[in-house]
Structure 1
Amino acid sequence: MTTFAEGHRDAAAVVRRDWRLPLAAIGAWAAALAGLYGTAFTGVFTACGLAAMALLGFKWLDLKRLGIKRDCGAAAAFATVAFGGALAAAVTSVHTHVRDDDDLQRLVQAEAGGNAELVVDTVPKPSTRSPGVYTASAHLRGFTEDERELQGNWRVLLVGSGEEWSEVIAGQRIGVDAVLREADPGRLTAAVVSARGPPEPEGRSAAPYLLADHVRDRLTEAAAAAPEPESGLIPALAVGDATGMDAGLAADFRTTGLVHLVVVSGYHLSLVVGAALAVALLFRAGPRARVAVGAIAIAAIVLIAGPQPSVLRAAVMAGMMLLALAAGRPAAAMPALATAVLVLVLVDPDMAAQPGFALSVAACAGLLLLAFRWAKPLEHRGWPQPVALAVTIPAATQVAVTPLLVMLVGGISLVSIPVNLLAALVAAPVVVLSVLAAVMAAVWLPAGEWWARLAAIPARWLVWLAQTGADVPGAMLPWPKGLWWGLLAALCLAFVIGLLHVRRLRRPLLALIAVAALGMLPACLIRGGPPSGWVVTMCDVGQGDALVLPAGEAVVVVDVGPDAALVDACLDDLGVDRIALLVLSHFHIDHTAGIGGVVEDREVDAILAPPPGEAAYGFELVSEAAGEIPMLDAVPGQEFRFGATRLEVLAPPELALSGTRSDPNNNSVALRAEVAGSSVLLTGDVELEGQRALLGAGRLEAEVLKLPHHGSAFQDAEFLAAVDPTVALVGVGQDNDYGHPDPGPLALLRDAGSLVFRTDESGRITVARNGDEFQVTTERGGG
């Protein structure tokens, strides 16, 4: 049998040397990803099968060496992929054996409560969906339930609520009263540890973790000297700490494809390591000294930014480059990327399932395989190489990551390439200045403040680009998410790229793309708004509700969802400056946490709400954000008139319901609205008891129904029949953890002839009336 290297030499004409590591990395990634959904037994079985396939491929190569002519390129590729897959399958089986520990899984299935002893791996970060909730990766070292004690070392997801969690640092050992819950499949996470109280530190973290925490804290203090919103942006640019970023600005960065600047990646690492090597060269350091300086810079970034997938990928790649420098050999980027993938997947198979890792690898591969190739024709036409690369790098990386983004979140950004092209003017200086602010603040705070103010100057350009790009109507091309839609996006991109290689079609197609891009520029100056005959709009705010109705020169807003940035963007697109009445159906955070995005920079005349009941946290959020805005109590029979819109309060009842499955839900404010002759029933989260109470409250027939409680299973069939809507709207988040909406109520509505539209499928939904017909406009289609 030939060796791994000898077999590949025989097929060098077909499988080039540079593709050996990439093929092995592809095999390892695929096998690890598949193994995460299996057990230790299936992992061992897969490893043995792949190893046999690799040996078969190498044996096929032997036939050529014996004089039997074969096309050995395919065999070499097959054997290399199988070899990488066998390694990863074997490693993954070991990890899944630990993950699936029988004793731990029995506790998880029982949702056992007790005292958990954990070592926190990453700094707890606030949840974007649930205000006040923090999440972190951790290792569970022990769990005590009553008199039973379980010891081990399992990877878990730690979830806690309260500001105390913001004080926890990476590497810290803590104890906490918690409940063990089932984790999502396809990862090495053995359980979700849901804390029922504050963390109790046990000892101090190691010195490196304390140093990293010191740098982050001092940087946050220094950045506060800069004006907002740049003050929250600078820590994100320097070390990936986006906790201080304005929520609206963070959403704009995602929409315009600038999010890679606020997530530490290969770009940051290349700038920092490059600057460190430049300083070393300035002092005439030798190769070994330069390698040492570069290694220290890499270690510092990984430590301070945390072990994010993109950071680790870039760190391994940079390490390979430094080794090449130390050995006096030319550095090869593609083998370095493949080595990074192979090493990280074998060390931590969970990396294969992390979206951040996939996006980082895809962006780097796009840069290496496409950007430099696309730049050559421009250079031949006289473009300076830096200018050519400034154009091709954003295009290549966007093409590479778009199919993955479609799979994960849906939608295609149409402004990402031009925005990133303009951002390149300041990206490098602003990142370097932000990193210098972090370094100086760690040593002397006033110096850090001075550098932060300096970094804020170019950061303003990034803020303007993000906000302006996100305000372009149609900045996101509606496109459903999912694996097959991502593959379709990849095929469409490949087709367009293929057309660009046809000489006769290249210029017309480029001209068409240029005209389309230029045609978007005037749209920056055009403000959005509702269509004529507007009845109601349901905003897409994730797992929550936010609806808008016309009210003369103003609007009525019913609920504000969980995300301030999402509801703010929806109101901006509708051109809302004044809110005649803000109705909060109840105080659960999926209906109230977005309050800041509604009241900030808008005139709100009054707020109508029920008593807070048990939902005290949401009431506190609203009270703090509302300030001096008058708050009115919702009383059945109340009427409000705003132009051609009339509102009638149907619930909550004067004697609040109690003892139900959820009293705050069943005591939601329910409204019947008449909008220019069209009837709309808005029901909050009323469940069975609340719906039955409404049946006796008066006329319920409505042409448009906001389905109660995000379409949960708690629906009364008699209630739905009494409403008998033409259009039913469901506010629900994609892949939510609650099973919303339940197919049963949706089937009842559809069988009765109602048209059902869901925000998780359709995005924002607007209902308008044109004569006797309703026109429903959605962002993404579906429904």
Structure 2
Amino acid sequence: MIPLWGVLANALAAPVAPIATILGMLACVLGPLLPGVADAVTALAWVPSSYIAGLGRVLASTGIATIPWPSGWWGALATGVIGYGALAFFVMRRSANRLGARILAGMASATLIAVVLMYFVPTWAVRASVPDDWTIAQCDVGQGDALVIQSEGAYALIDTGEFPERLEECLALLGITNLDLVVLTHFDKDHVTGWPALVGVTHELWTGPPENEADQRIIDALVEGGAIYRQVRRGDTASLGAYSLSVAWPDTAPLGSPGNDSSVVLELRPRQACSDCLSGLFLGDLGERAQQILAARERFSPVDVVKVSHHGSADQYHPLYEALEASIALIGVGAENTYGHPAPSLLAALPSTTIVVRSDRDGTATLQRTDGGGIVMWSER
């Protein structure tokens, strides 16, 4: 991504940034000696500081704060060739060396055309091919989980993956700019550290129990961005368009310390009879013991889609998957990961009728019910 407003934001903030900095330093010096005076100086520092923060929020909320751009070395090289080539052309075009100016302009133009043909055109083609009426999407965020549910214009996101830019790419691909509900199943980095992509676009936030101050800071940042926060337990529900999302785990008395076995488990069911709706169970990173307790207590009826726990690790209670009889099993997993995910034992335990959709192999994928009652998948690969 390339920020469009970075230079403008810095130019507008530059006059007041030194004032905020000097007042902040002065408040720190005066704090131990004259607390009352330090409080007054801090209040003064709030004025330029809030201006800078407000400026950033306003420019970031324009919807065009950044433009997509290829990552890696060739994206950096293309930026340099286009930028310096264009700058040199304007500097040299009035000099005697007009041939050099034309060569630089040609290099910059050729690089820009190459970026458009090699990056933007394929990206636009993929975006144009995404169906509008999908119900469940699995984002390719590498070794991590990020799933989206859509119904009647409302969106719920389950986990973020590790990298904000990967999540932003997926949401852009799906045409999503606001999220009605975000669920962070637990606070492992491959499930939550993509959270910066959600600041300011999240209406309601659900989490399991936070484990430490770092977890709480993530919650606080999203709340400051406008999210309504709720720590959920078994029995909590929310409506999302034609669907009901129910929390099946954890219970009021957690199985253990926050972590995999305290993952929020969500059951997706239509709120009333619906011929084109999907049902699903999203298992977070629940381990075998927790899955066994959950299966015995809830006795789930079959579902259309199951989000396989813990990226398809071997730590699974196989009878749960047999009872669910899912048509589709979603596995969020990174290519060439070093964990051996998905485990051969898990894949062998899934019913023979279950189709496995893996983010490392299929990329971002969407699911929807067809008029004939089947399930159709779109994937970017």
Partner of 1:752: 352
> Which residue is 1:738 aligned to?
339
State the partner residue of 2:205: 607
Amino acid at match of 1:726: S
Query: Residues 477-492 of structure 1: matches in 2 within 5 Å?
Result: none
Between the aligned partners of 2:124 and 2:230, the Cα distance in structure 1 is 36
How many residue pairs align between the two structures?
303
CA change 1:619–1:722 in 2 (3 A) is: farther
Amino acid at match of 2:116: V
Q: Give SS of 1:473's match.
A: helix
Asked if 1:777 corresponds to 2:374, the answer is no
The alpha-carbon distance between structure 1 residues 418 and 738, as it changes in their structure 2 partners (threshold 3 A), is: closer
Q: Which amino acid aligns with 2:162?
A: P
Instruction: State whether structure 2 residue 266 is matched by structure 1 residue 671.
Output: yes
Aligned pair partner of 1:626 in 223, 239, 257: 223
Measured at CA, do residues 768 and 262 of structure 1 come closer, stay the same or move farther in structure 2, by a change above 3 Å? same
Distance 2:10 2:244 in 1: 39
Deviation at 1:386, TM superposition (A): 6.0
SS of corresponding position for 1:626? helix
* CA contact 1:258–1:420 (8 Å) conserved in 2: no
Asked if structure 1 preserves the Cα contact closer than 8 Å seen for 2:199 and 2:221, the reply is: no
Alignment match, 2:368: 768
| Secondary structure of residue in 2 paired with 1:226 | helix
Find out whether 1:656 has 2:234 as its counterpart.
Answer: no
Q: Which one has a larger percent helix, Structure 1 or Structure 2? A: 1
- The Cα of 1:554 is off from its aligned counterpart by 1.7
Deviation for aligned residue 1:722: 1.7
SS in 2 for 1:625: helix
Aligned residue in 2 for 1:577: 177
SS at match of 1:772: coil
Q: 1:389 to 1:620 in 2, by over 3 A?
A: closer
Asked if the contact 2:130–2:378 (Cα under 8 Å) also holds between the matched residues in 1, the reply is no
Instruction: Please say if residues 257 and 420 of structure 1, whose CA atoms lie closer than 8 Å, have aligned partners that are also in contact.
Output: no
Rounded Cα–Cα distance in structure 2 between residues aligned with 1:256 and 1:250: 18
Taking a change above 3 Å as real, the CA distance of residues 609 and 759 of structure 1, as seen in their structure-2 partners, is: same
| From 119, 126, 139, the counterpart of 1:539 | 139
The answer to whether the 8 A contact 2:198-2:222 is kept is: no
Identical-residue share of aligned pairs (%): 27
SS at match of 2:167: helix
- Cα distance 1:730–1:389, how it changes in 2: closer, same or farther (>3 A)? same
Q: Does 1:728 pair with 2:329?
A: yes
Distance 1:765 1:698 in 2: 29
Q: 1:259 is matched by which residue type in structure 2? A: A
Q: Deviations over 1:177-199 (max 9, x none)?
A: xxxxxxxxxxxxxxxxxxxxxxx
Asked if 1:638 is matched to 2:289, the reply is no
Please say if 1:419 is aligned against 2:116: yes
Distance in 2 between the 1:738 and 1:230 partners?
Answer: 47
Amino acid of the residue matched to residue 269 of structure 2?
E
SS in structure 2 opposite 1:570?
Answer: helix
1:706 aligns with 2:307: yes
Distance 1:256 1:744, change over 3 A: same
- 1:473 equivalent in structure 2: 124
* Per-residue deviation, 1:416: 6.7
Residue by residue over 1:337-359, the C-alpha shift from the partner in whole angstroms, topping out at 9 and shown as x without a partner, is: xxxxxxxxxxxxxxxxxxxxxxx
CA distance in structure 2 between the partners assigned to 1:420 and 1:725 by the alignment: 40
Listed as ranges, the matches of 1:148-547 within 5 Å are: 226-228=7-9, 252-254=69-71, 257-261=74-78, 394=111, 417-419=114-116, 469=120, 472-474=123-125, 530-532=131-133, 534-547=134-147
* 1:720 counterpart letter in structure 2: Y
Query: Given residue 632 of structure 1, which amino acid in structure 2 is its aligned partner?
Result: R
Structure 2 CA distance for aligned equivalents of residues 261 and 388 of structure 1: 13
**1:684 match:** 284
Change (3 A) 1:262 1:694: farther
1:419 is aligned with what amino acid?
V
Residues in 1 aligned to 2:137 and 2:117: alpha-carbon distance in whole angstroms:
32
- Are residues 388 and 658 of structure 1, via their aligned partners in 2, closer, same or farther at CA, if it must alter by over 3 Å? closer
Counterpart of 1:716?
Answer: 317
8 Å CA contact retained: 2:78, 2:115: no
Deviation at 1:539, TM superposition (A): 0.7
Contact 1:680 1:703 in 2 (8 A): yes
Secondary structure of the equivalent of 2:217? helix
Q: Deviations over 1:299-324 (max 9, x none)?
A: xxxxxxxxxxxxxxxxxxxxxxxxxx
Q: Distance in 2 between matches of 1:704 and 1:624?
A: 32
Q: What amino acid is aligned across from residue 268 of structure 2 in structure 1? A: A
Structure 2 vs 1, CA of residues 557 and 416 (structure 1 numbering), >3 Å: closer, same or farther?
farther
| Cα deviation code 1:725-778 (max 9, x no counterpart) | 1100100111223222112101221x5321001101110011111031000111
Gaps of 5+ in 2: 13-59, 93-101
1:655 alignment partner, SS class:
coil
Inter-partner Cα distance in structure 2 for 1:619 and 1:573: 30
Question: Aligned pair 1:596/2:196, yes or no?
Answer: yes
| Distance in structure 2 (CA, Å) of the matches to 1:769 and 1:760 | 23
In 2: Cα distance, 1:692 partner to 1:705 partner: 16
Unaligned runs of 5+ in 1: 1-223, 232-245, 279-383, 395-414, 422-465, 476-522
Code of the aligned partner of 1:687: G
Indicate the SS of the match to 2:166. Answer: helix
Contact 2:154 2:241 in 1 (8 A): no
Q: Deviations over 1:677-733 (max 9, x none)?
A: 321111111011221121123242211010001111111111221222110010011
Letter in 1 for 2:236: Q
Partner amino acid, structure 2, of 1:625:
L
TM-score, L = length of structure 2? 0.69
Separation (CA, whole Å) in 2 of partners of 1:262 and 1:697: 57
Number of the residue aligned with 2:150: 550
Give the drift of 1:261.
Answer: 4.7
Post-superposition offset of 1:605: 2.2
* Aligned equivalents of 2:11, 2:76: Cα separation in 1: 15
Q: Does the CA contact (< 8 Å) of 1:552 and 1:645 recur in 2?
A: no
CA deviation string 1:330-383 (max 9, x = no partner) = xxxxxxxxxxxxxxxxxxxxxxxxxxxxxxxxxxxxxxxxxxxxxxxxxxxxxx
Structure exhibiting the larger radius of gyration computed from Cα positions: 1
Shift, 1:551, TM fit: 3.5
- The CA RMSD over aligned residues, in Å, is 3.6
- Aligned equivalents of 1:543, 1:678: Cα separation in 2: 26
What do residues 73-104 of structure 1 show as CA deviations (whole Å, max 9, x unaligned)? xxxxxxxxxxxxxxxxxxxxxxxxxxxxxxxx
- Structure 1 residues 230, 598: CA separation in 2 closer, same or farther (over 3 Å shift)? farther
Residues 129-179 of structure 1: CA distance to partner in whole angstroms, max 9, x if unpaired?
A: xxxxxxxxxxxxxxxxxxxxxxxxxxxxxxxxxxxxxxxxxxxxxxxxxxx
Conserved? CA contact 2:143–2:335, under 8 Å: yes
Give a deviation string over 1:454-496, Cα, whole Å, max 9, x none. xxxxxxxxxxxx9xx4895236xxxxxxxxxxxxxxxxxxxxx
